[in-house]
Amino acid sequence: MSTPPRHIPSLSALPALVGTQLGHSDWVLVDQARIDAFAAATGDAQWIHVDPARAAIGPFGTTIAHGFLTLSLLPVFMNQAFAIDGLGMGVNYGLNRVRFPAPVPVGSRLRGTVKLLACEPLPQDGLQAVLEVSVEREGGSKPVCVAESVVRFFP
């Protein structure tokens, strides 16, 4: 069942939320079809990702998702975790820090927890936010990805 995103009443309400958790996403399945599609899109067809037979005797006993595949899910996690009423657009401005502390075995379910670390004004009534997204694997003991995403929001 889908959890509705946390609604933030306006862009101007965002700065008051610095230091708080904005919400969790739903669980997202990372199956072999998703891994294969990512490999095809990026040209990264390393056997640890796309060859189940070879990966079965490899270090993880199965294929694992690309770290960048996990990272590419950040917009899904953020959009499911929170919504800003009246937002015109959000623009990915980059990343400050990214780590992949644990692998994502095929068949894993992931979800992101979003925390607002910083928020500062921009020209034209925009805001630049630094969002920490911690991605967990269902049943895992530590995050599979922790990233600081910099997003510019405009009304």
CA 132, CA 137: separation in Å to the nearest integer? 16
Read off φ and ψ for residue 58, nearest 5 degrees: -85, -170
Architecture per CATH, domain 7-29+67-154, reads as Roll (3.10)
Q: For the segment 98-123, what is each residue's pLDDT rounded down to a tens digit?
A: 999 999 999 999 999 999 999 999 98
Neighbouring residues of 122: CB distance < 8 A, sequence distance ≥ 6: 128, 152, 154
pLDDT of residue 53: 97
- In the chain, DSSP assigns E strands to 6-8, 21-24, 28-30, 82-84, 89-99, 108-122, 126-137, 145-154
Domain ranges of the chain: 7-29+67-154
The tokens for 6 are 């946390």
* Segments in the chain below pLDDT 50: none
pLDDT of residue 123: 85
Neighbouring residues of 75: CB distance < 8 A, sequence distance ≥ 6: 92
Read off φ and ψ for residue 69, nearest 5 degrees: -65, -50
Q: For the segment 84-102, what is each residue's pLDDT rounded down to a tens digit?
A: 999 999 999 999 999 999 9
Tell if the pTM clears 0.85, that is, is over it.
yes
